[in-house]
Amino acid sequence: MYIVDRTVRFARGFMLSYGPTGIKKRLWDKEFSGTKWDFIDNTVGDCVYPYLEKYAKNGSILDLGCGPGNTANELDADVYQSYTGVDISEAALAKAVKRTRESGRTGKNTFVNSDFLGYEPPQDFDIILFRESLYHVPYGQVLPILKKFSKHLKSDGVFIVRLYAGDHRPGVIKTRVTAKLDLIRREFAVIESRQFDLPAFPNVFVFRPRG
Ligand SMILES: C[S@@+](CC[C@H](N)C(=O)[O-])C[C@H]1O[C@@H](n2cnc3c(N)ncnc32)[C@H](O)[C@@H]1O
């Protein structure tokens, strides 16, 4: 039973990252239709916010894999002018839109239902954020996707990546996650990076294209 359960979970995790868009969308919608992800509805005080506040410069933010609107509504409204959240899950976006209406930020926050791997932004941004969403980009697609979105950074714009290096198991670091952070260190100009000594070791990386 344990082996069957583990195999099903592995297959599901694999499809969430590697599946075709239609299947990923259905799976993510199912994830957000239940209560599994309710814990990210309130992430006030998260370690990524000081970085967003520092680099937003009262400008524009693109949030790839934005989820249920936590970043869009918890970030200090005075530090940014416009925010675009992209997510593959309509269920997550329904929550994001509702929360944005309730917080009175409809003039600032916009949401797009899309697989970010194929998304073409209509403008350039001060910040392009992957908050716990780069985890779901297959390793082989990390560099191509960052290069593609590099073209949509303003000249002094930055990528911000927040990524747990571990999981619920105390002290465990996942090499398939740290390999993505190593790739960023190798290929980009890292402005600042920090691994926080918090459960599951969240990392925040701020970087831009070299040159
Ligand atoms: C772990 S949740 C993180 C949500 C939010 N950014 C946060 O940190 O609280 C990952 C999010 O990425 C979205 N996602 C995963 N793969 C995606 C893809 N290929 N295109 C767009 N969104 C994706 C999921 O629907 C989900 O909302």
pLDDT in tens, 161-207: 999 999 989 989 999 999 999 999 999 999 999 999 999 999 999 99
* Lowest-pLDDT choice from 2-16, 31-45, 115-129: 2-16
pLDDT for 9 beyond 80:
no
Residue 9 lies in a domain: no
Q: Which atom of ligand 1 is nearest to the CA of 21?
A: 19
The verdict on the CB of residue 160 being under 6 Å from ligand 1 is no
66 Cα: distance to centroid of ligand 1 (angstroms): 6
Residue 17 lies in a domain: no
pLDDT for 1 beyond 70:
no
Q: Please name the residues in contact with 25: beta carbons below 8 A apart, sequence gap of 6 or more.
A: 88, 89, 90, 115
Residue 148 lies in a domain: yes
One-letter amino acid for residue 188 of the chain: F
pLDDT over 70, % of the chain: 100
- Domain of 89, CATH number, reads 3.40.50.150
CA distance 183 to 205: 12
171 Cα: distance to centroid of ligand 1 (angstroms): 25
Taking the CB of residue 8, how many other CB atoms lie within 10 A of it? Answer: 10
| Domain assignment of residue 191, given as a range | 40-209
Number of domains forming the structure of the chain: 1
| pTM: predicted TM-score of the whole model, two decimal places | 0.96
58 Cα: distance to centroid of ligand 1 (angstroms): 24
